[in-house]
Amino acid sequence: MHFTKMHGLGNDYIYIDGFEQTVDDPAALAAAISDRHFGVGSDGLILILPSRTADVRMRMFNADGSEAQMCGNGLRCLAKYAWEHERAAGGPCRQSPGNNLLGRAAPRADSCREIRVETGRGVLTAYLAIEQGRVHQVGLDMGEPILLPTDIPVRVTGQQAVGIPLDVADRHLLLTAVSMGNPHAIFFCPDVDQIDLEHIGPPLENHPLFPQRTNVHFVQPLAQDEVRMRTWERGSGITLACGTGAAAVCVAGVLASKTGRGLLAHLPGGDLRLCWDEQDNHVYLVGPAVAVFEGDWPG
């Protein structure tokens, strides 16, 4: 089984080209190949597949084998692979908030290509900044945030889950919950370095409030347009970055009156630029995508 390892800000995944290969049991493969001691080592497995509704399709599995609906860092890398390996030609980028954000993040790009990717949360658009025939930055239209608690899902009443008191692991927290196709629990704090994420992450991920478990993010506002954040990812544990999480943080900052609609998010693996557009209500994200190496997995 031939694979490619890629990462977005250190959030790393193993990619299998489903145009040429078939994976009979992706959940089992994800758990085995993601193991950092006995496997290749990654935060999960992503299958690159043909699509009937878009240029290409993504299926994403966490390191524990559970399937997730979406992954922003994973999607950026998939878009890079799909274009560079001629799995998706796409077309010229149209004028959009995502394209504008990409242009500011990658001003030296030779051209911009736009491809559509089928994901667990529908068809999303990726904007590719191409320099000397390679994709270096990718912008994503992450779609509209899901705010209704029953749709996130989170077991709270009301139209939004903002500032919900929650006591976990001897800490009194205020929860803001957002879904970007997968559930996110956001907690604002004075200093993310003071959070024992390895200790508090598991009980929050598996808290009874979240019937499908949740991704967990602690966020330190630095300014109206800048934050630091750390992530405990559902099914994978501590990760260096989370694209859908950063998008959820961008939304949560506005809902909780902590930040504005444009945001620079500093994650342990690097930076992402985001905006929650007032016109179309979509969240846009820009960041790098990097290929690490290729190999062959037995079996």
The verdict on whether 112 is a catalytic residue reads no
The verdict on whether 93 is a catalytic residue reads no
Distance CA 81, CA 255 (A): 35
Which one from 71, 93, 112, 275 is the annotated catalytic residue? 71
DSSP class of residue 93 equals P
CA atoms within 13 A on the CB side of 65: 7
CA atoms within 13 A on the CB side of 119: 29
H or E segment to which residue 187 belongs: strand 183-188
Which one from 77, 112, 189, 242 is the annotated catalytic residue? 242
Distance CA 107, CA 110 (A): 9
Give 144-171 as a DSSP string. PPB--TTTTT-S--SS-EEEEEEEETTE
Asked if residue 117 lies in contact with residue 48, where contact means CB atoms within 8 angstroms, the answer is: no
The two tokens of residue 70 are 């979406």
Measured in whole angstroms, the distance separating CA 173 from the mean position of its chain's CA atoms is 24
Q: Which residues contact 116 (CB under 8 A, 6 or more apart)?
A: 54, 55, 56, 90, 123, 124, 125, 126
What residues are labeled active site?
A: 71, 242
